[in-house]
Amino acid sequence: MHRTAPYILLIVLALLQIFLFNNLAISTYFSPLVYLIFLVMLPLETSGIAMLALGLITGMMMDYTMGTAGINTFSTLFVAFFRRNLISLFANREDLRDEGIPSPARMGVLLFWSYAIAMVLLHHTIFFVMESLSWAHFGRTLLRILLSSAGTLCALYLTEQLFTPKLSKHA
Amino acid sequence: MRKLIEFIRSTYVAVLFVLLELIALNYYAHSTAYTEARLVARSNQVVGGLQHAVSEVRLFFGLGRRNQALTARIAELEELIAHYEEAATEKRLKATNKSLGASKWRMMAAAVVSNTVGKQHNYIVLNRGRMDNVYGGMAVTTPEGAIAGYVIDCTERYAVAVSILNTAFRASGSIEGSNYYGSIHWEGRSSRFVTLSELPKYANPTPGQRVVTTGFEPYFPQGMLIGTVEEARLDEVGTSYTVKVRLAADLQSMSDLVLIDNLDQLELEDLSRSEAIRELEF
């Protein structure tokens, strides 16, 4: 259960992204990329090469279905590669020994959310800047990044509420 | 040697990362609206079935509203027919009718399988493909006759259209009733407005005026509604207007669309590639 949970999550998130969020027509400024939650929730002990491979798979899958040539792959690989560095940016050495799926219960509320917000912001920034491909309307791109990140983070919060209570009991 | 292996082992993840990023970047740099549409068309073959089922459910709940729209449209067309029938009794029209010949426009109804408005490059997937004689370059309009985009690629059963809400979309538009024209494009901001730029100052647009297609592109018939003038701004030099156009088509909630086929298009393309023209270019 504990090992396979993130992969079940990937399937659910991919389906949500493809069939719900990609078709969601609320505003140009709001297009959350919820598939990123999968990478945020991967167990901390996941090796570098496995992170890279999973980042590549998710990125390519999303590029394929969203018709964005390479943008998803680029941004997803980027955060997958630097995930460990992002966590150590906020954590002390002792906190880092922990294994298992990242959660507020395991890592502490402050550390978990600093890590999650940094991850989502970094990913969305790369994605939307590459998508608009100009600094001319940076204010507008910034708004898209912030609103969409907020959407993704809300989805992450809900996922945490749904999944982690069960997982921490088993772990 | 052992040190070399040790070195490779310690850095191969980083090297692989840089390599993959370069490949992704290279792919992105070489992408065009066409390759993106091709991706959408290919992935639609995989997810299209489910996407279709979802859109079917959505369509069901919109049936009442669509029925109303259809009835209104029927009434409108009946009025037109009555008008023509009346005129047809006059001999004069009978004579001109004969010389008109067959229409070069062929219309076909299609349902939306998926449609985005939130991205910078938005595409519409339709449930008509090569099997229904759909090909790249056909116009996509709403049943009310407002333009929504044009087909760029198709598979056997589906077609992908560049939405008017795609920063790569280009068309020319003019104020209804005048000969001045400018170019229509989307700024990537609101899904309700497009921009008509480089409109000569003599066009003198006023809010509320209708903006229509010019017929310069082979895929849009002349005089199709794009939207209405929301506001117009003269540029610093005072030579041309930039007009904010409120779209007539509601891109956020589209369920049925009309595909327009220009039967002369292939002939026109052949003509533009003719020997005589090519010689002139050299």
Q: Residue B136 maps to which CATH number?
A: 2.40.10.340
Judged by CB atoms closer than 8 Å, whether chains meet at B191 and A27 is answered as yes
Residue that wins the pLDDT comparison between A137 and B214: B214
Pick from B16, B35, B268, B259: which is nearest to B159 by CA?
A: B259
Residue A166 CA, chain-centre distance (Å), reads 21
Write down the pLDDT at residue A106. Answer: 78
DSSP one-letter string for A54-85: HHHHHHHHHHHHHT-SSHHHHHHHHHHHHHHH
Any domain includes B124: yes
Nearest to B118 among A25, A59, A69 (CB): A25
Q: Find the mean pLDDT for residues B151-171.
A: 91
Question: Per CATH, which fold does A5-170 belong to?
Answer: Arp2/3 complex 21 kDa subunit ARPC3 (1.10.1760)
Q: Are B215 and B204 in contact (CB under 8 A)?
A: no
- In the structure, what pLDDT confidence band is assigned to residue A171 with cuts at 50, 70 and 90? very low
A138-143, long-range: CB within 8 Å, 24+ apart, which pairs?
A: A140/A29, A140/B188, A140/B189, A143/A29
pLDDT reported for residue A104: 82
Residue B1 Cα, gap to closest chain A Cα (Å): 23
Specify the DSSP class assigned to residue A27.
B
Is residue B33 in a domain? no
> Quick check: B36 and A67 in contact, CB under 8 A?
yes
The sign of the CA dihedral A156, A157, A162, A167 is: positive
Q: Region B36-65: what's the mean pLDDT? A: 77
Task: Inspect the interface and report whether the beta carbons of A25 and B20 lie closer than 8 Å.
Answer: no
What is the average pLDDT score of chain B? 83
B90 in a structural domain? no
- Total-model pTM: 0.67
Residue B57 touches partner A, C-beta closer than 8 Å:
no
Where are the strands (E) in chain B, listed by range?
Answer: 105-115, 121-126, 139-141, 147-154, 159-166, 171-175, 181-185, 193-200, 210-213, 225-234, 240-247, 256-262
Residue B19 counted as domain residue: no
- Answer yes or no: do B47 and A132 touch at CB < 8 A: no
Question: Region B28-55: what's the mean pLDDT?
Answer: 77
Q: Tell me: the pLDDT tens digits for A77-121?
A: 999 999 888 888 887 666 566 677 888 877 788 888 999 999 999
Nearest residue in chain A measured CA to CA from B51: A19
Lowest model confidence (mean pLDDT) among A134-143, B71-80, B130-139, B194-203: B71-80
Residue B99 reports pLDDT greater than 50: no
The closest CB to that of A64, out of B37, B39, B252, belongs to: B39
User: Which of A65, A66, A81 has the CB atom closest to B17's CB atom?
Assistant: A81
Q: What is the pLDDT of residue B178?
A: 87
**Is residue B236 over pLDDT 70?**
yes
- Residue B163 clears pLDDT 50, i.e. is over it: yes
The mean pLDDT value for A63-69 works out to 83
Does B118 sit within 8 Å of A64, measured CB to CB? no
Residue in A19, A48, A67 closest to B54 by CB:
A19
Residue B98 has pLDDT above 70, yes or no: no
3-state secondary structure of A140: helix
Residue B268 in tokens: 């026109």
pLDDT at A146: 93
Which of A19, A26, A78 is nearest residue B50 as measured by Cβ atoms?
A19
Query: Mutation test of the interface with chain B: which of A74, A132, A152, choosing the one with the most B Cβ atoms within 10 A?
Result: A74
Nearest C-alpha in A relative to B24: A70
Closest CA to B171 of B234, B246, B106, B226: B226
Chain A interface disruption, residue of B10, B20, B163, B193, most A CBs within 10 A: B20
Q: How many alpha carbons fall within 13 Å on the CB side of residue A86?
A: 22
The answer to whether A14 faces chain B, any CB pair under 8 Å, is no
Q: Is residue B173 part of a domain?
A: yes
The confidence score (pLDDT) of residue A3 equals 67
Percent of chain B topping pLDDT 90: 20
**Per-residue pLDDT, B103:** 63
Q: What is the domain extent for residue B209?
A: 106-282
In this prediction, residue A164 has a pLDDT band, given cuts at 50, 70 and 90, of low
Residue B43 to residue A65, Cβ atoms within 8 A: yes
Phi/psi at A69 (5° precision): -75, 95
Write the CB contacts of A101 (distance below 8 Å, at least 6 apart in sequence).
A2, A5, A6, A41, A42, A43, A44, A163, A164, A167, A171
Tell if the CB–CB gap between A69 and B115 is shorter than 8 Å.
no
Strand B210-213 relative to strand B171-175, pairing: antiparallel
Q: At a CB cut-off of 8 Å and minimum separation 6, what does B278 contact?
A: none
Token duo for residue B13: 């993840």
What is the average per-residue pLDDT within A44-68?
A: 88
- Which of A70, A77, A81 shows the shortest C-beta gap to B31? A70
Average pLDDT over residues A43-50: 85
Domain ranges, ordered by start, for chain A: 5-170
How confident is the model over A119-147, as a mean pLDDT?
A: 87
pLDDT band of residue B91 (cuts 50, 70, 90) is low
d(CA B146, CA B231): 19
Q: Give the tens place of pLDDT for each residue, B102-146.
A: 567 778 888 888 888 888 889 999 988 999 888 888 899 888 888
Determine which of A95-99, A136-140, B254-258 has the lowest per-residue pLDDT on average.
Answer: A95-99
Q: What percent of chain B has pLDDT over 70?
A: 91
pLDDT score for A57: 92
Q: Domain count of chain B? A: 1
CA-nearest residue to A72 within chain B is B24
Give the minimum alpha-carbon distance from A105 to chain B in angstroms, rounded to a whole number.
Answer: 30
